[in-house]
Amino acid sequence: MGLTPRHQKPFQKKDWAYLDTYIKANIDNSSLPHPSVAVELDQFEMSKEEIIQELKRNGYQVTDEHTGFLRVS
């Protein structure tokens, strides 16, 4: 027996619900004194500006790494 063929499904960009869950799991539930996460902008259906605005509106600090990633803390 071997491996079955890899299922090829189209890439689906992530939404607000995924971003919220990701941040809560890695920042809000962290025991580290200054937790942060990287958000890869190409993975999301929202624009960089929309994401930054929403994060700041909800009390997160955002640093644009200018590499396609945002650092959120």
Residue 6 lies in a domain: no
1 in any annotated domain: no
As for how many domains the chain has, the answer is 1
- 26 belongs to a structural domain: yes
First to last CA, the chain: 47
Per-10-residue mean pLDDT of the chain, 73 residues long, equals: 79 95 92 94 98 98 97 97
Query: Does 28 map to a domain?
Result: yes
Domain-located, residue 55: yes
Q: Kindly state whether residue 5 falls inside one of the protein's structural domains.
A: no
Q: Which two tokens stand for residue 24?
A: 């809560």
Please give the residue range of the domain that contains residue 54.
16-72
Give residue 3's pLDDT. Answer: 85
In a domain, 52, yes or no: yes
**Would you tell me how many other CB atoms lie within 10 Å of the CB of residue 60?**
17
In a domain, 4, yes or no: no
